[in-house]
Amino acid sequence: MNNKVQLEQVNIHFGKTHAVRDISMTFPEHSVTAIIGPSGCGKSTLLRSINRMHDLVPSARVTGKILVDDGDIYDRGVDPVAIRRRVGMVFQKPNPFPAMSIYDNVIAGYKLNGRLPREEADEIVESCLKRVALWDEVKDRLKSNAMMLSGGQQQRLCIARTIAVKPEVILMDEPASALDPISTLKIEELIEELKERYTIIIVTHNMQQAARVSDYTAFLYMGDLVECGETKKIFTTPEQKQTEDYITGRFG
Amino acid sequence: MMQSVTYRKMKNHLMSGLMLACTLAVLVPLGLIFFHILKMGVSSLSLDFFTHVPAPTGEPGGGMANGMVGSAIMIAGASLIGLPVGILGAIYLSEFGGSKVSTLIRFAADVLSGTPSIITGMVAYTLLVVPMKGFSGLAGSVALAMIMIPIVLRTTEEQLKMVPGSLREASLALGVPFWRTSLKVTLRSALSGVLTGVLLAVARIAGETAPLLFTALGNQFWSKNVMQPMAALPLQIFSFAIAPYEDWHRLAWGGALVLVTVMFALSLTARYFGRTRQAG
């Protein structure tokens, strides 16, 4: 299997804080890789570096190489906007645009960047909402405000909005941690389906979730990559004592 | 030690009474002013008042139409200058700021909004009236814009800062460039709050008299050319009120009533927008 995303000696600093230390790892195409670890271990920080979200934080400094399809996204002359179109992101708290309808939220990536012909828009809205299994729940009220939806529905709407712009990689930052168990289950089923088309990298501090949805798992601790490999192996026969302690709930 | 219920109730009533008295102390003068203006001014309002220029001294009738039109033109001109500068400046401060330059701009804006408006008028006089060798509506607009800019700048900045970062991130993560995000997501989300600030700023400059004294100067006749001296409602009220003619006094009362009503309406509209924001 191809490696879609590859990290080479990635270090991330915020001012004087060294948040991510010298991490090298790969994310195979059309698979789900989970990044786990205790709070503050740098997993979200690492995730956000993969679509250059740190560019907005003046004190943040990313060094090393992050390759998407063999191209370093931190190379001079690479447009972060173009990178973010290829590497989409779903956030911890559902964040639909509050001033927009359900319909407009799905095509927000197009509307905010210009115009979109009506027929094309209709088609994108229907297919994306169907893929996140939200279509049947909202097809009669596409024009109502997105904030009317429940938290779980909002999060699936955000995923629909992300896949609408046809990314190659989807980053998910604890996408179900603000949701109830049923909604969480729906999101997990969705992730399973989405990996056929996309490469998914998910940060979670729910280890059962990592075990359920991911093919590969990386364990981070205090900014260091302790261990990474196939999820089955990490959860059954980890090589590092630290990984085992964390997974069995002895700390973290 | 426990105080008796009666004692605590008494204290409660006393304090509530004091606060009520304070509220009344603010409201009563406002009410008195408004009703007095209404009483004195309502008789001068007629169709002529809104359609005619002031009659020559000694002749009855006449109106303040030129002053109202002049005020409208100068307020529009001031908005044309002040709103883009204020709003774009606020986007800079809230979205791109954080540097020493932003601190400097904020400080300058605060100083500017605290500057007595007569000084603002003098600045416009020096910058425009003197080089152009004449009073003009344009100079009046510029003076008003200088009052407007810091108000719009700071209120808009506050509103933009209240937009949650998660919305900016959502937009950026969809591959929307930062500048588009600032305009179409951040500013759009803060729009009703920004509008409230704009309306309050307009209400504020609508009543300004001092900065117009030596910029627009005033005009007894129709004046729609911004390069010429221009009439303005507050200026007319001022000059008519101190004139020794009974007719002019009546006009001044009418003008005051119109001005107060316009400002009242603007504030109410601003409040309405402020409220819908909280509901949405």
Indicate whether B279 pLDDT > 50: no
**A69-83, pLDDT tens digit by residue?**
989 999 999 999 999
| Residues ≥6 apart with Cβ < 8 Å to B181 | A112, B168, B171, B172
pLDDT value of residue B71: 96
A interface with B, Cβ–Cβ < 8 A, is 51, 53, 56, 58, 81-82, 84-85, 88-89, 91, 93, 95-99, 108-109, 112-113, 158, 161-162, 165
Q: Which of B175, B180, B189 sits opposite A98 (nearest CB)?
A: B189
Backbone angles phi, psi at B55, to 5 degrees: -75, 155
pLDDT, mean of residues B107-117 = 93
A7 inside domain: yes
What is the rounded average pLDDT for all residues in chain A? Answer: 93
Give the Cβ contact number of residue B116 at 10 Å: 10
| Contact (CB<8Å) A108/B188 | no
CB A194 within 8 A of CB A167: no
Q: Does this complex have an ipTM over 0.85?
A: yes
Q: Residue B137 is which amino acid?
A: G
Q: Which of A53, A56, A165 sits opposite B175 (nearest CB)?
A: A165
Does any CB of chain A come closer than 8 Å to the CB of residue B183? no
- C-alpha dihedral (A54, A56, A61, A63), degrees to nearest 10: 50
Residue A252: pLDDT band with limits 50, 70, 90: low
* CA distance to B129, B169, B231, B244, B263, per residue, from B253 (Å): 30, 54, 17, 14, 15
State how far the Cα of B171 lies from the Cα of B190, in Å rounded to an integer. 15
Residue A99: pLDDT band with limits 50, 70, 90: confident
State how far the Cα of B221 lies from the Cα of B34, in Å rounded to an integer. 29
Indicate whether B277 pLDDT > 70: no
pLDDT, mean of residues A12-20 = 94
Print the SS3 string covering chain A. Answer: CCEEEEEEEEEEEECCEEEEEEEEEEEECCCEEEEECCCCCCHHHHHHHCCCHHHHCCCEEEEEEEEECCEECCCCCCCHHHHHHHEEEECCCCCCCCCCEHHHHHCHHHHCCCCCCHHHHHHHHHHHHHHCCCHHHHCCCCCCEHHHCCHHHHHHHHHHHHHHCCCCEEEEECCCCCCCHHHHHHHHHHHHHHCCCCEEEEECCCHHHHHHHCCEEEEEECCEEEEEEEHHHHHHCCCCHHHHHHHCCCCC
Does any CB of chain A come closer than 8 Å to the CB of residue B118? no
| CA dihedral sign, ordered A27, A32, A38, A44 | positive
Q: Which domain holds residue A7?
A: 3-247
| Contact (CB<8Å) B180/A85 | no
Residue B244 is given by DSSP the state S
Chain A partners of B188 at a C-beta cutoff of 8 Å?
99
Residue at token pair 């606060």: B19
| Contact (CB<8Å) A81/B189 | no
| Contact (CB<8Å) A84/B167 | no
User: What ranges in B92-187 are assigned the alpha helix state H?
Assistant: 100-114, 117-124, 130-132, 137-162, 165-173, 178-181
| Contact (CB<8Å) A84/B170 | no
**B231-260, pLDDT tens digit by residue?**
999 999 999 999 888 888 999 999 999 999
Q: Which residue has the higher pLDDT, B108 or B97?
A: B108
- Name the CA radius of gyration of chain A, rounded: 18
Range name among A206-210, B128-132, B138-142, B269-273 with the lowest pLDDT average: B269-273
Number of compact structural domains in chain A: 1
Q: What is the pTM of this model?
A: 0.84
What residue in B sits closest to A107 (Cα-Cα)? B174
Does any CB of chain A come closer than 8 Å to the CB of residue B172? yes
* Alpha-carbon gap: A213 to the closest alpha carbon of chain B (Å): 23
State the count of interchain CB pairs (< 8 A) between A and B: 70
pLDDT value of residue B166: 93
pLDDT value of residue B278: 45
**A33-50, pLDDT tens digit by residue?**
999 999 889 999 999 999
Residue B115: pLDDT band with limits 50, 70, 90: very high
Give the Cβ contact number of residue A233 at 10 Å: 14
| Contact (CB<8Å) B166/A89 | no
| Contact (CB<8Å) B166/A91 | yes
What residue in A sits closest to B170 (Cα-Cα)? A95
Does any CB of chain A come closer than 8 Å to the CB of residue B167? yes
**Burial per residue of B251-265, b for 16 or more beta-carbon CB atoms within 10 angstroms, e otherwise:** bbbbbbbbbbebbee
Does any CB of chain A come closer than 8 Å to the CB of residue B114? no
pLDDT value of residue A248: 87
| Contact (CB<8Å) B176/A93 | no
pLDDT value of residue B1: 59
Residue B272: pLDDT band with limits 50, 70, 90: confident
Indicate whether A162 pLDDT > 60: yes
| Contact (CB<8Å) B98/A58 | yes
| Residues ≥6 apart with Cβ < 8 Å to A201 | A5, A27, A32, A33, A35, A47, A50, A169, A170, A171, A172
CATH of the domain at A165: 3.40.50.300
**Cα atoms found within 13 Å of the Cα of residue A48, Cβ hemisphere only:** 23
* Alpha-carbon gap: A197 to the closest alpha carbon of chain B (Å): 18
Residue B274: pLDDT band with limits 50, 70, 90: confident
| Contact (CB<8Å) B176/A88 | no
State how far the Cα of A7 lies from the Cα of B253, in Å rounded to an integer. 76
Indicate whether B280 pLDDT > 60: no
pLDDT, mean of residues A17-27 = 95
CB B232 within 8 A of CB B162: no
A252 inside domain: no
What is the rounded average pLDDT for all residues in chain B? Answer: 91
Does any CB of chain A come closer than 8 Å to the CB of residue B100? no
Q: Which CATH architecture has domain B47-279?
A: Orthogonal Bundle (1.10)
| Contact (CB<8Å) A112/B171 | yes
Tokens of A47: 């995730």
Q: Would you call B66 helix, strand, or coil by DSSP?
A: helix
Q: Which of A98, A112, A158 sits opposite B176 (nearest CB)?
A: A112
Q: Which of B169, B172, B188 sits opposite A99 (nearest CB)?
A: B188
**Burial per residue of B76-85, b for 16 or more beta-carbon CB atoms within 10 angstroms, e otherwise:** ebbbebbbeb
* CA distance to A73, B25, B171, B191, per residue, from A87 (Å): 10, 61, 13, 30
